[in-house]
Amino acid sequence: MALAPEGGPAVRLLVVDDEAVPRLIVARAAETLGIATDGVATLTEAVARVKAVDYDVVVLDLALREHDGIELLRHLREAGSQAVLVFVSGFDERVRQAAARLAGALGLTVAGTLGKPLLVEPLVALLRALPERGHSKPEGREADIDPAELEAGIDADQISCLFQPKVTLRERRLVGVEALMRWQSPRLGVVLPDQFIPLAERAALIDRLTDRLIAEALTQFRPWRSLRPDLTIAINLSPVSLTDLSLPERVSAMLAETRLPASALVLEVTEGAVMEDYVAAADILTRLRIRGIRLSIDDFGTGHSSLLSLLRLPFSELKIDQRFVRSCMQDPEAAKIIRALISLAWELGLQVVAEGIETEPVAELLDRLGCMVGQGYLFGPPVSHTGIAERLQQAAWAEGIS
């Protein structure tokens, strides 16, 4: 069904909804702004459209009859689409927010979410305020970076590692660090992972980057294990790395080279990553776990198939997403969800780590809820190798005299 008026205006919108009413409302509302609209009712048609046309905006109903609209996100990413997304759904705000977060994890830009009944005014307001694609994307400067520049940066050792402490909530004892990448670019200054990882994934540089990160993090971590034999190091894996079947061997080799036991290493994986290519991810994660490497499910509770992933994959740690942690003081429901997640983790024998702890009352609440380990600015921002080494030496000294 082509709803585009003749004359071919510049902006193209695709609305995916199995109901004619919202499809037509979006089309007519978009027309009042001079936006040409195509409307489709099924995922199959939508996939065919996004392969054929480079849309600027995709308005997506999350609850299509036969599929969930989430599946289209993967196809948009595969098609390299730069389209800005608007979610429409009769589900509550929480579901729409979770979908938005998943889209973000896939590198897609979400302009906003609308509930049902679909009202024209908020829809028009949203379409009017759409970010121009490729410019005001939240990933910031990603669009300006040439893959060759990143590759040269990797070769020139411009990628370095920072470490953020993980502590026990009760004793505030340092039990682990999470390694985070920074790119010190001569032209751009310090570039954060959100800004160069998606580029590395698209430019097939992610394996080199991951190997570099693991090798460097393990090397720096090695001496800390002598001071604190139960200390762990956590490293984030890109979803793309979970399609690379040689990863377990490479990780084992790097552990052997630094003479570290597999149990010292925690690999963090986001939920979205697992659903990308389930078979390959399950293969890789299971082989890593068999080798003794610990696996952490990151941002837990914000994605699509959390419980199924927990059931089927050999995770050893669950990280509660910082969104729940940040709102747990104001929102009693967030606190209830955290309590339920902790109880779930206990039942499954998983360690629980709460991310994004910024204040003392939040740390105390999480401790009361049964969470043992936390991470966040309250316990320290990401710091260089020296920062962690000093902290460990001070702790060793304090423990030595007590």
Partner 1 sequence: MKRRLGGTTTVDPSVLEALEAALGAGSAAEIVAAFLADSPARMERMRTLAARGAANPLGREAHALAGSAATLGLTALAAGARALEAAMEAAPPDLPPLLSPLEEAAAVALAWLQQRIPLPAPPAAHLPGNARRACSFACPSDTG
User: Nearest approach, Cβ of 341 to partner 1 (angstroms)?
Assistant: 22
Stretch that binds partner 1, among 13-21, 281-289, 291-299, 390-398 (CB under 8 A): 13-21
Closest CA to 334 of 344, 343, 324: 324
Of the pair 28, 187, the CB lying nearest partner 1 is at: 28
Of the pair 70, 345, the CB lying nearest partner 1 is at: 70
User: Nearest approach, Cβ of 30 to partner 1 (angstroms)?
Assistant: 9
The site string for partner 1 over 51-80 (x = CB under 8 A, - otherwise) reads: -----x------x-x---------------
Tokens of 292: 């003794």
Q: Are 271 and 277 in contact (CB under 8 A)?
A: no
- Binders of partner 1 in range 125-154 (CB under 8 A): 127-128, 130, 132
Interacting residue with partner 1 among 10, 279, 398, 401 (CB under 8 A): 10
Distance of CA 318 to the CA centre of its chain: 14
User: Nearest approach, Cβ of 84 to partner 1 (angstroms)?
Assistant: 12
Q: What's the CA gap between 215 and 162, in Å, rounded?
A: 13
Tokens of 370: 């049964």
**Residue 16 within binding range of partner 1, rule CB under 8 A:** no
Stretch that binds partner 1, among 7-15, 101-109, 362-370, 394-402 (CB under 8 A): 7-15
**Residue 28 within binding range of partner 1, rule CB under 8 A:** yes
User: Nearest approach, Cβ of 126 to partner 1 (angstroms)?
Assistant: 11
Q: What is the 3-state secondary structure (H, E, C) of 33-81?
A: CCCEEEEECCHHHHHHHHHHCCCCEEEEECECCCCECHHHHHHHHHCCC
**Residue 14 within binding range of partner 1, rule CB under 8 A:** no
Interacting residue with partner 1 among 74, 75, 116, 323 (CB under 8 A): 116
Q: What's the CA gap between 365 and 330, in Å, rounded?
A: 12
Distance of CA 109 to the CA centre of its chain: 13
3-state secondary structure of 11: coil
Strand partners, 60: 16, 87
**Residue 45 within binding range of partner 1, rule CB under 8 A:** no
For 86, phi then psi, to 5°, come to -125, 125
- Binders of partner 1 in range 222-261 (CB under 8 A): none
Interacting residue with partner 1 among 53, 95, 124, 175 (CB under 8 A): 124
**Residue 121 within binding range of partner 1, rule CB under 8 A:** yes
# residues contacting partner 1 (CB under 8 A): 34
DSSP 128-183: HTPPPTTTS-TTGGGGG--HHHHHHHHHTT-EEEEEEEEEETTT--EEEEEEEEEE
Q: Are 361 and 346 in contact (CB under 8 A)?
A: no
Q: Which helix (H) or strand (E) holds 197?
A: helix 193-202
Of the pair 19, 283, the CB lying nearest partner 1 is at: 19
Q: Which helix (H) or strand (E) holds 374?
A: strand 373-375
Stretch that binds partner 1, among 120-128, 183-191, 247-255, 353-361 (CB under 8 A): 120-128
Interacting residue with partner 1 among 35, 59, 320, 353 (CB under 8 A): 35
Question: How big is the CA angle at 336 (ends 332 and 338), to the nearest 5 degrees?
Answer: 115
User: Nearest approach, Cβ of 114 to partner 1 (angstroms)?
Assistant: 11
**Residue 307 within binding range of partner 1, rule CB under 8 A:** no
User: Nearest approach, Cβ of 125 to partner 1 (angstroms)?
Assistant: 11
Of the pair 49, 133, the CB lying nearest partner 1 is at: 133
- Sign (positive/negative) of CA torsion 358, 94, 270, 207? negative
Question: Where along the sequence are the contacts to partner 1 (CB under 8 A)?
Answer: 5, 7, 9-11, 18-22, 24-25, 28-29, 31-35, 56, 63, 65, 90, 116-121, 124, 127-128, 130, 132
